Chain A
Amino acid sequence: MHSVPYLSLITFLPILGMIIVLALPKTQGRAIKSLTLLITGIQVIIAIILLINYDYSLGGIFEQSSFQFVEKWRWIDIDGFSWLGKIKVDYFLGIDGISTPLLLLTAIVTFIATLSSWNINKSIKGYFALFLLLDTGMMGVFVALDFFLFYIFWELMLLPMYFLIGVWGGPRREYAAIKFFLYTLLGSVFILIVMIGLYFSTQETLADGTRVFTFNILAMMDTNNFTPNGILSPLNPNNLRFIAYIALFAGFAIKIPMFPFHTWLPDAHVEAPTPISVILAGVLLKMGTYGILRISYPVFPEITKQLIWYIALFGMINIIYGALCAMAQRDFKKMIAYSSVSHMGYVLLGMASMNTLGISGAVLQMFNHGTITAMLFLIVGVLYDRTHTRDMDAFGGIAVQMPVYTGVVTVAFFAAIGLPSLSGFISEAFVFLGAFAVDLIRVLTVISISGILLGAAYMLWALQRVYLGKLNEKWASLKDLTFREYAMFIPLALIIIFLGVYPSPMLDLMNSSVNSMVKFMADAQVIYSSFGGF
């Protein structure tokens, strides 16, 4: 039925675009921008086609048959010796209810970020080539089901991001870029170690009956595939699964970023150009939580179960600490950056609940946070473009001068606060309902709820300082939104309002998968407890 390799298309289209961009002459700035817009536009269309053809009844998570748009062929095929086994790496793509919302999010955010990149004037060719490379990396992470492939896409994003922050960023861009690079690299090398450890602990049975080591993430979830002596195999009484889990989790946590690994984020955000901040907050942060859901959870269900209190604890710290930091900021962009830390805490808290409500809330929060934060960073960008300052105390009364803009701001701010009828409310409510239902983390949940209050405080305070009050005479000549800026804000605002009023489409999309994830985690407890020894 799906003879068109949609997932490969959506992933590698940007690479094609990158090659064309590199071939175009430097002077063709407009053509390069239009081409990038076209490519990201096609990605949005493909994402919509995927959504239309998506079968809502299939769960995904752990069985290949219920993944959709699967593409699987052998990529590396080496016949080994008796002692090495065969080396097989698959090119294995597929989506389920966890990855589809994020794929959609990536397509939308990238498209909007391209629009927002329109006023980049410094080495346009390099910028858009790197931008498209980054795009491929992001798409790839969300569609890859082979750990090796996943890792390659994961690392592929590192370098473009380094240059995008480092070349097109603000005054302290060099520092921010290297900090981002070292931090994320440190995280990903931990992921690499665990990946290799899992490879030696999992053997897939091929069609001809031979068993080979595999990087297939789904095979790693199947307890029948464990080798007796693998260092990460539960069958091995001396296994290192606990340490590996911590390493893997830390690797993903750096990307989220989870306290205490969050310090790279404010620097990176403040220095990055607006479109890159949008991508960073809108998509990249989701990769951490996505990785935990896709890999840490189902591959290590028994350890996840042991650690949910700690996951919830870090979620709570993120929520409260992020909010308090946000409140203390004078720099508008830094405030938004810390608000991201706070909002990603909700995702962690929702995931820790391990029930349908909580995990649905977490995935929905990833999507909503992606759209809302993208909008918040665009808002800062609009103001910064016009005034070249981000000091919140330097503004005041902008609403008078830019009424439409302030209207947009209000939607985004209220969505971030979690006002009912806007999308942020639904996901936060789901997270809290889910987490509250679990006895173990109830206290943490109750404390976390105060984060909403703090969120309202810093958001409203910012709104007041920047947009309300008496107009600062310095800004008396500001112009309201341009057509291009409308084009950036309107789709995001519509999504936020739509999902706030009628979240069902998104919830239906993830429902089967979330259910199958919850069921899988519960079933796994029984199986793993039969192995004993942990």
Chain B
Amino acid sequence: MNIEQLISDLFYIKPEIAVAVTLVVIVVVDLIMGKNKKALPFISLVGLLIAGILVVQQFGTAKFVFKTSINSSLMAIDNFGSYFKIIVVVSSIFIVFFSLSSAEIKSTYARHGEYYSLIFGMILGMFFMVSAADLILIYLSMELLSLSSYVLAGFVKNSIRNSEASLKYVIYGGVSSGIMLFGISIIFGLTGSTNLYEINSLIQAQSFPSITLLLAGLFIIVGFGFKISAAPFHFWTPDVYEGAPIPITAFLSVASKAAGFAVLIRFIKVVFVDSVDVNGFWHLINVIDWKSIIILLSILTMTLGNFAALWQDNLKRMLAYSSIAHAGYMLLGVAVLSNEGIIAIMIYFIVYLFMNLGAFFVVMLVANEIGSEEIDDYKGLGRSIPLLGVALAIFLISLVGLPPTAGFIAKVALFIALIDANMIVVLVITILNTVVSVYYYIRILRNLYLVKVDEERPMLRINFLNKVFVLFLAVPLIVFGIYFTPIIDFAKYSLNILGL
């Protein structure tokens, strides 16, 4: 590989470079400005916007960059990756806004430089993750993401809850990434390659011991499963989501999960798919029965998430289980092993971004005022937060998946993929899960509006900008629920995974 090639390839990772530069700028500005941290969020937003624009410009590109040998390279720049980068950028922009009004984050004003640079560390990790075409790069970028998020989960040092979350996250994360690395090493041992595309052609060409391959595949899935919090690798999720500062929880629940899904889809599609037929169904190389494995994981994940959520009293913890359940639904999009399933996941993520971030944002604003995230403390609060209450209702209804919110469209897209693949039994299980989920989502609305309280609760003072901001999250859910052409078109346009 010559140096000209390297430089011209750098051109293709402009978004990543933009993120890395912003990270450095934040560190430098933090050093120069000393105690005044006001500029940092602003710099972050500018950096994100630039990165976002660069990602948008990259749509339509399909190219392998950073060749390591003749037919293998480190990264694959394609629309699929760019799509998930957009999800990451948009949610990061929201997270920066969240952080501006979070009481928890405000309490750490002196360490804001650290905070924003770590956020950019996460973003950089995710950017590489969604485009990585090599197991080593996948591993490294996941570690970058994980290490940054371990610190962020425990960012408020004097909060015992935060530290506990962080510690649990480190332990679970360390173990699962270790297992994943073991899986990667087995694959390397078998095939002699770490490049996804090369492994694909190798296992097509010759037969490897299928038990070993299965084991390696499963080990690698442990790592991805950890990131998307699929059961049985979800144990960290409730504790970390409950303990971490709310903006970080929200970020983990959307962006980190999106990146995890992107890499999981790319891994399965690139490594194990033999061909894609005219109907968009994938035909796997006959080594690992991914369909059954993922169906199993997904049913386990959604059922566990939904049923565990029923018993939660802490709203953040409940939303953690709800996000596990949603990971279960989205896994079905992988399990159908068809392009339509991938489209469904992509649609789901756009919608999920708005509804989940929205729900966490409202929880954060309320927690700022009443200092609690307990569901019981929401009793009779409906009238104290007229706008937020309605917005929260929209977010929760969308999470249930009822029309006319976009959550319905996301669910329908998924159901369509399932019916098209003739997976009726799985569909029925999913639908029953949805019905169960109504119970815990509606419980919040019940506490807000239905429960009688003895004394009127005082009005909460919510900043005007935050109200506008809540609308920014809630209105798209209604608009996309009624007119969903744009999101489907966008997802459809971005389906292209390089290679097949």
Which A residues contact B (CB, under 8 angstroms)? 75-78, 80-84, 87, 123, 151-152, 155-156, 158-159, 162-163, 166-167, 173-174, 177-178, 181-182, 185-186, 189-190, 192-193, 196-197, 199-200, 231, 240
Q: Which residues of A contact B111 (CB under 8 A)?
A: none
With a 10 A CB-CB cut-off, give which of A80, A189, A199, A200 has the most chain B CB atoms. Answer: A189
User: Given A155-B408, A189-B435, are A78 and B488 also a contact pair (CB < 8 Å)?
Assistant: yes
Please pick, from A159, A182, A186, A240, the residue contacting B402 in the complex, using a CB distance under 8 A: A159
The 10 closest A-B CB pairs, nearest first, are A83-B280, A152-B403, A166-B450, A83-B279, A189-B431, A155-B403, A196-B419, A186-B435, A174-B450, A78-B488
B442 touches A162 (CB 8 A): yes
Q: Is B397's beta carbon under 8 Å from chain A?
A: yes
Give 7 pairs: A residue, B residue, CB < 8 Å, sorted on A: A84-B280, A84-B339, A123-B383, A158-B402, A163-B450, A177-B450, A231-B422
Minimum distance in angstroms from B457 CB to a CB of chain A: 14
B278 touches A83 (CB 8 A): yes
Interface residues of B in 456-500 (CB under 8 A from A): 483-485, 488-489, 492
Q: Is B446's beta carbon under 8 Å from chain A?
A: yes
B-side interface residues, number (CB < 8 Å): 41
Bound: A469/B83 CA distance, A: 77
Q: Which residues of A contact B446 (CB under 8 A)?
A: 166, 174, 177-178
Q: Is B97's beta carbon under 8 Å from chain A?
A: no
Q: Which residues of B contact A231 (CB under 8 A)?
A: 419, 422, 424
Interface residues of B in 101-144 (CB under 8 A from A): none
B416 touches A199 (CB 8 A): yes
Which B residues contact A (CB, under 8 angstroms)? 277-281, 339-340, 343, 383, 393, 397, 402-404, 408, 412, 415-416, 419-420, 422, 424, 427-428, 431, 434-435, 438-439, 442, 445-446, 449-451, 483-485, 488-489, 492
Q: Which residues of A contact B451 (CB under 8 A)?
A: 174
B340 touches A83 (CB 8 A): yes
Bound: A155/B428 CA distance, A: 19
Minimum distance in angstroms from A241 CB to a CB of chain B: 13
**Interface SS of chain A:** helix
A84 touches B340 (CB 8 A): yes
Minimum distance in angstroms from A334 CB to a CB of chain B: 22
Minimum distance in angstroms from B454 CB to a CB of chain A: 16
Bound: A155/B412 CA distance, A: 14
A178 touches B439 (CB 8 A): yes
Minimum distance in angstroms from B394 CB to a CB of chain A: 10
B485 touches A78 (CB 8 A): yes
Bound: A162/B403 CA distance, A: 15
Q: Which residues of A contact B438 (CB under 8 A)?
A: 181-182, 185
Q: Which residues of B contact A76 (CB under 8 A)?
A: 483-485
Q: Which residues of A contact B281 (CB under 8 A)?
A: 83
B280 touches A81 (CB 8 A): yes
4 additional contacts (CB under 8 A) given A83-B339, A155-B402, A193-B419:
A78-B489, A152-B403, A174-B451, A196-B416
A193 touches B427 (CB 8 A): yes
Minimum distance in angstroms from B21 CB to a CB of chain A: 38
Q: Which residues of B contact A87 (CB under 8 A)?
A: 488
Minimum distance in angstroms from A200 CB to a CB of chain B: 6
Bound: A166/B485 CA distance, A: 35
Bound: A174/B415 CA distance, A: 31
A240 touches B424 (CB 8 A): yes
